[in-house]
Amino acid sequence: MLTTDDVAKVADLAMLDVSAEELATFTPQLAAILEHAADVEALDLADVAPTHHPYPLVNVFRDDVLDDAMSDVRDEALAAAPDAEAHQFKVPPALGEEM
């Protein structure tokens, strides 16, 4: 059975802050969905191969040549960034103090 501790750990892995109140809501909801999904336990799947992809394509390659189509959009892409400097994305210190 899924506990609030499980959900808190998953939220942390998913880079989400979840309040105690939200944990109390999310935990039974997620537990109900997992419980519904447990109906597949009734199936014998030992010899069944998994399907990762619905259309049988493998090893899709292209020629190793530069595609210029996006070369003129660097400024547009950087303009959409929350912060940029010297044609690069800018973030707070990676090794700064803990919040």
Q: Is 57 in the site for other proteins (CB under 8 A)?
A: yes
Name the DSSP letter for residue 95.
Answer: T
Which residue from 5, 22, 21 is spatially nearest to 13, judged by alpha carbons?
5
Q: How many Å apart are CA 61 and CA 47, to the nearest integer?
A: 31
Instruction: For the CB of residue 4, give the shortest distance to other proteins in the complex, in Å.
Output: 12
Instruction: For the CB of residue 48, give the shortest distance to other proteins in the complex, in Å.
Output: 4
Instruction: For the CB of residue 32, give the shortest distance to other proteins in the complex, in Å.
Output: 5
**Site track 9-38 with other proteins (rule: CB under 8 A), x = hit:** -xx-xxxxxx---x---x--xx-xxx-xxx
Q: Is 70 in the site for other proteins (CB under 8 A)?
A: yes
Q: Which of 1, 20, 21, 43 binds other proteins (CB under 8 A)?
A: 43
Which residue from 8, 1, 44 is spatially nearest to 24, judged by alpha carbons?
8
In single-letter form, the type of residue at position 74 comes to R
